[in-house]
């Protein structure tokens, strides 16, 4: 692994090995306080994301490394009239690893073409957020011993949540999972996710009610459901209470069910749930930090690549992709990368189907 | 000591022990550059306070620890739709100690109920600022050998200055101090401070002029006095020169008097005073850093508390306190804590009397 | 060397010694990861400059030191009603070295009068930027073995670029350099630079075309040339293509010519040049970090000066300099420093001639 752009690129075996390391760190974090001594992480957050940034920062600091960067590009001059390529060339001269969060889909992939050090995708628009998936899988594996053979309920806004889409794609690597997709009809998973699950023989049921399936779940993954996502306010009023997890609704859940949430929560889990031992969403944040420690240790301790070690990159002239949020829309020098997804030509940066 | 929320909670003996440690650090700071190695401080500044933040940051860095956080919540997304409780639960999963500054009174106390690591109050609105008091006492003790038996003049705006109120409360722990409270009549100490001093048998004289009492002082504690605090502009014009400390006014002061100031100063001490050996306000900033080192060493090296080690917290539904700046006004899940102060029922967070 | 305010203050021998150290660091950076352990740098950026700040931060971090400060004073309260002197007195109580960038000319010099620790000028308005010059010289020396005896072309806006002026002044310390000053007539070097070069017997030719002199150059130093600098838009349209460096124009250049650029570039070097081995402007950023490591090691490991070790500073009352961008315009307590430059009385802070 040179970079972490998409969790889907990670073979199951590499994930197992990363998880194994994360688990060793959880058992004895004090053994790892020097493994990144002298190493420096550049955290480039082109949009604010305090929790993700804090998690990556503390992960690096707890390995004995250090961190610089920006938390919001408005307070910096980095993007002023400079291409992403130039920023990455400069920053990869200073850092041993680059962690980047952007509103532009495919930006981490674009950065990886030019970087002399590993790039970690900390979220690129609505596209990917692979280390959130690492946090989710670490939590389940650590607390249930494994991810295979479980019944997993995904609840809330399944249409817009990239966390949920990433997690579903990642769970295709595991065996014998039963999915319950719990959402209002208008916030159900997109067609391409449904197709993906069928193609990968993933067993799933779509339902609109949470309480009926509660007794069957080993894991309940809650997500934010926002009023403004509903086209019809009447529909919202009818639905809103259904997806709020309360202490009372947990009465019918298994005693060892895990409640996960990518955080921040707004009001989809009431505060009286927090003290229930099944509520592990704050621990999940902690496991996320440990998973990022395993990742950063792996990436930041690699030797730096000289320019001559980097594969040559074709110089583009205009975008081949029409996705308005794709990084190629503004960075015209990017090469015209195309890849096949399910037999369809897609953008090599943002994965959108090409027309 | 699990947290430092209010200097008043600290028994004299614990303070003596902290001062003793601060003093050892002042004598040989190089011996302490590893005591917090591997430890991480979260500095959550919900309002900017550059000097306090710098002091806490460098204190942690000089102990070999590291720091993350935000200097101004506008540049972060931490508070967006998230409760203080959730922020603290997440951050205390990443950090070994939390240093927080907020505009809301009682916020540090509220945070301490949920945190898995120690919380330090770096200022909560107009309520408390215990580490400024640590800086003041360290400076006096270090330079005069002790705090007991001194004549201390507090000069300027004694009505609005939380630094002065904190210091007076702290000095109740010491013996045989003579106070001179030097202020315009309309900026005299509030009644509750006067009552507190009488109840604690503290010897004090209130005066409006600085020069007459100057010869008696061992310590002169200057504070900002702002034009906009005066109701009557004529009163301001009549008063303004009186409280400006100049080199000339020092002619009548004792040769070993100490001049303190919490900084920043505006124009209440003229620049020609700076080179006088009695002007120790810049040293005071340095002693403040060392005092914070002693505090952070003590707190950050404690083992982390698991959720099961935290006392259970009742879930509230609405504030019992009517102070509009109290943290309970916006965080309705906080428990309805009440405590007695001088026989009166007061809010357990902001100390305001309940109606 | 107590401070680095102006590269011109550095004797050739001190520079050679700094370069020697930078070169040792480039050869084996891992040997230096502990030389600033326990040391803390204050990076005070009163205007944003992401690249310079990143370079100084990573330089300190790679020496095992740590960094605090602000990247933009708007997000801090440091300047609110406080003099530069007070800020420096406080910060030099916390830090072992101060790196400062300001829009005010002479500000680093002013800071150095009061600081208890070394001050590094990271750019003071249009005045000086000595560590950019260190980056330039390190790059040339490292890649060509020496700076003496070379033909150096400076191309673009030579009127407004402080980088170019600093570099020319620094190159007066070297032997037998041939200069080509390549610019549109209206963006030629200012008279005082031309006078400086003649006084120092520096051999130079001023030309308007890049291609004609290309074959003679050992170093081509490119700078930004901005449309808005041209008084006459027709002139701009006629000139704009001339100063864009393309792969094709390099056909006539020496095979070992070095292309430098202080970065960020806008469009004065096309992206197809980047893969040419003569394009060393990204390496130049890396060498800049190593040069700053040599500087910070030297400065941050000095013992701290007590107030009694600092030379006394006269208290001023009003500015003697009329340069509206000079630090003395707002900081009236600064002493009335005057120095002779080429027989003319100049401001001791910003170097502007006094009237």
Q: Is B315 on the interface with C (CB under 8 A)?
A: no
Domain termination site, one of C234, C257, C279: C279
Q: Are residues C272 and C141 in the same domain?
A: yes
CA–CA separation, B221 and B217 (whole Å): 10
Q: Which residues of B touch A51 (CB under 8 A)?
A: 78, 90
Residue B79 pLDDT greater than 60, yes or no:
no
Q: pLDDT-derived band of residue B278, with 50, 70 and 90 as boundaries?
A: very high
- How far C83 CA lies from chain B's nearest CA (Å)? 8
Range of the domain at B298: 7-128+289-347
Residue C65 pLDDT greater than 90, yes or no:
yes
- How far A2 CA lies from chain C's nearest CA (Å)? 21
The predicted model gives B322-343 an average pLDDT of 94
Per-residue model confidence (pLDDT) at position C249: 96
Per-residue pLDDT tens for A78-101?
Answer: 556 789 999 999 999 999 999 999
Q: pLDDT-derived band of residue B274, with 50, 70 and 90 as boundaries?
A: very high
Q: pLDDT-derived band of residue C77, with 50, 70 and 90 as boundaries?
A: low
- Which of the residues B12, B20, B31, B51 is marked catalytic? B51
Per-residue model confidence (pLDDT) at position A78: 59
Q: Are residues C161 and C90 in the same domain?
A: no
Q: Which of residues 27-66 of C touch A (CB under 8 A)?
A: 30, 33, 48-51, 54-55, 57-58, 61-62, 64, 66
A322: in domain? no
Is the Cβ–Cβ distance between A265 and A224 less than 8 Å?
Answer: yes
CB-CB under 8 Å, C275 with A312: yes
A98: in domain? yes
3-state helix, strand, coil in chain B (%, to 5): 40, 15, 40
Question: Of C159, C126, C135, C172, which is closest to residue C9 (Cα–Cα)?
Answer: C172
Q: Which residue has the higher pLDDT, A85 or B82?
A: A85
Q: Are residues B82 and B137 in the same domain?
A: no
Give the number of A-B residue pairs with CB atoms closer than 8 Å: 68
Q: Which residues of A touch B68 (CB under 8 A)?
A: 54, 57-58, 61, 67
B352: in domain? no
B2: in domain? no
Per-residue pLDDT tens for C244-262?
Answer: 999 999 999 999 999 999 9
Per-residue model confidence (pLDDT) at position A75: 56
Which tokens belong to C316?
Answer: 């001023």
Per-residue model confidence (pLDDT) at position A76: 57
Q: Are residues C268 and C249 in the same domain?
A: yes
Q: Are residues B101 and B235 in the same domain?
A: no
Residue A240 pLDDT greater than 80, yes or no:
no
Q: What angle do CA B68, B74, B77 make, to 5 degrees?
A: 65
C354: in domain? no
Q: pLDDT-derived band of residue C79, with 50, 70 and 90 as boundaries?
A: low
From edge to edge, which strands make up the β-sheet containing C66-70? C66-70, C40-45, C97-102, C119-124
Q: pLDDT-derived band of residue C230, with 50, 70 and 90 as boundaries?
A: confident
Share of chain A above pLDDT 70, in %: 98
Q: Is B68 on the interface with C (CB under 8 A)?
A: no
Per-residue model confidence (pLDDT) at position B273: 97
A229: in domain? yes
- Residue A56 vs residues A239, A337, B239: alpha-carbon distances, Å: 36, 29, 54
Q: pLDDT-derived band of residue B298, with 50, 70 and 90 as boundaries?
A: very high
Q: Are residues B137 and B104 in the same domain?
A: no
Nearest CA in chain C to B34: C38
Q: Are residues A30 and A138 in the same domain?
A: no
Q: Are residues B123 and B142 in the same domain?
A: no
Nearest CA in chain C to A39: C62
Q: Which residues of B touch A61 (CB under 8 A)?
A: 40, 66, 68
Q: What is the CATH number of the domain that holds A154?
A: 3.40.50.1370
Q: Are residues C13 and C44 in the same domain?
A: yes
CB-CB under 8 Å, C48 with A68: no
Give the number of B-C residue pairs with CB atoms closer than 8 Å: 69
Per-residue pLDDT tens for B186-204?
Answer: 889 999 899 999 999 999 9
Q: pLDDT-derived band of residue A123, with 50, 70 and 90 as boundaries?
A: very high
Residue A133 pLDDT greater than 80, yes or no:
yes
Q: Are residues C316 and C340 in the same domain?
A: yes
Per-residue model confidence (pLDDT) at position A120: 98
Closest partner CB to C264 (pick from A86, A307, A333): A86
C335: in domain? yes
Q: Is B89 on the interface with A (CB under 8 A)?
A: yes
Average pLDDT, chain B: 94
Average pLDDT, chain A: 94
- Which of the residues B52, B102, B141, B223 is marked catalytic? B52
Is the Cβ–Cβ distance between C135 and C261 less than 8 Å?
Answer: no
Question: Of C260, C249, C325, C322, which is closest to residue C288 (Cα–Cα)?
Answer: C260
Q: Are residues A100 and A135 in the same domain?
A: no
B1: in domain? no
- How far C325 CA lies from chain B's nearest CA (Å)? 23
Q: Which residues of B touch C317 (CB under 8 A)?
A: none
3-state helix, strand, coil in chain C (%, to 5): 40, 15, 40
CA–CA separation, B291 and B297 (whole Å): 10
B284 in a known ligand binding site: no
Domain termination site, one of C250, C279, C308: C279
C332 in active site: no
Share of chain A above pLDDT 90, in %: 83
Residue C199 pLDDT greater than 90, yes or no:
yes
Look at chain A and report how many structural domains it folds into.
2
Give the lowest-confidence range in B219-228, C151-160, C203-212. B219-228
Helix (H, G, I), strand (E, B) or coil at A268: coil
Q: Which residues of C touch A93 (CB under 8 A)?
A: 282-283, 285-286, 289
Q: Are residues A68 and A195 in the same domain?
A: no
Question: Which residues of A are identified as catalytic?
Answer: 51-52, 80, 101, 129
């Amino acid at each position: 692994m040179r970079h972490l752009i998409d969790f889907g690129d990670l073979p199951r075996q590499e994930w197992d090995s990363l998880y194994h390391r994360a688990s060793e760190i959880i058992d004895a974090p004090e053994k790892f306080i020097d493994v990144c001594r002298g190493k420096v992480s550049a955290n480039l957050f082109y949009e604010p994301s305090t929790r993700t940034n804090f998690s990556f920062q503390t992960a690096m600091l707890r390995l004995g490394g250090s961190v610089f960067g920006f938390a919001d590009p408005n307070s910096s001059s980095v993007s002023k009239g400079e291409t992403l390529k130039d920023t990455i060339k400069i920053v990869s001269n200073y850092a041993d690893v680059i962690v980047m969060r952007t509103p532009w889909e495919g930006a981490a992939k674009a950065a990886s073409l030019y970087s002399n050090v590993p790039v970690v995708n900390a979220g690129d628009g609505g596209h990917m957020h692979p280390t959130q998936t690492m946090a989710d899988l670490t939590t389940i594996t650590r607390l249930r011993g494994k991810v295979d053979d479980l019944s997993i309920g995904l609840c809330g806004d399944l249409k817009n949540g990239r966390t949920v889409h990433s997690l579903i794609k990642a769970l295709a690597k595991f065996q014998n999972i039963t999915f319950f997709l719990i959402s209002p009809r208008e916030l159900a998973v997109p067609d391409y996710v449904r197709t993906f699950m069928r193609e990968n023989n993933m067993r799933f049921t779509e339902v609109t009610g949470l309480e009926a399936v509660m007794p069957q779940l080993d894991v309940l993954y809650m997500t934010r459901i926002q009023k403004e996502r509903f086209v019809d306010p009447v529909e919202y009023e009818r639905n809103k209470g259904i997806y709020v997890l309360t202490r009372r609704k947990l009465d019918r859940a298994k005693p060892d069910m895990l409640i996960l949430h990518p955080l921040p929560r707004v009001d989809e889990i009431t505060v009286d749930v927090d003290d229930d031992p099944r509520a592990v969403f704050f621990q999940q944040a902690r496991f996320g930090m440990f998973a990022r420690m395993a990742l950063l240790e792996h990436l930041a301790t690699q030797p730096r690549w000289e320019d001559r070690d980097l594969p040559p990159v074709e110089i583009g002239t205009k975008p081949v992709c029409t996705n308005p949020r794709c990084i190629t829309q503004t960075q015209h020098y990017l090469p015209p990368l195309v890849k096949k997804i399910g037999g369809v030509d897609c953008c090599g940066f943002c994965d959108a189907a090409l027309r």
